[in-house]
Amino acid sequence: MKIERFDSNGRFHTAIKYNGVLYLSGAVGPNGSTVKEQAQETLDNLDALLKKYGSDKRHILSACVYLKDIASFNEFNSVWDAWVESGCEPTRTCVEAKLASPAMLVEVTLTAALCE
């Protein structure tokens, strides 16, 4: 089976398609100053990437959420719960992590089935 790789920066690809599955690199919302703002921007970015590469929110299989401070868990979830498709919630992991920049509060990685 063919592996398709998209949008490389020399270190990683933004997306990879393989065997009917879409793998997305971590997405961030760098313009927000709060967890809610960054979460919304991040999820909007992921929504656009899902569509660009042939999937959508109803096809998300799993999500990994990285929060700079786990105390913002409920704040993040208030945005996530409004964004995710009811009845199509993916498996999900949410952890506290040191992110690549001090200004980053949220990063999310998704794996999704491709739309048929």
Q: What is the residue-wise DSSP string for 34-91?
A: SHHHHHHHHHHHHHHHHHHTT--GGGEEEEEEEES-GGGHHHHHHHHHHHSPTT-PPE
1 confidence band (pLDDT: 50, 70, 90): confident
* CA 108 from centre of chain: 4
Per-residue pLDDT tens digits for 68-107: 999 999 999 999 999 999 999 999 999 999 999 999 999 9
User: Options 3.30.420.40, 3.40.50.10320, 2.30.110.10, 3.30.1330.40; which CATH number does 4-113 get?
Assistant: 3.30.1330.40
Map out the domains of the chain as residue ranges: 4-113
Q: Report the chain's mean pLDDT, rounded to a whole number.
A: 97
Q: What is the pLDDT of residues 56-69, one digit of tens each?
A: 999 999 999 999 99
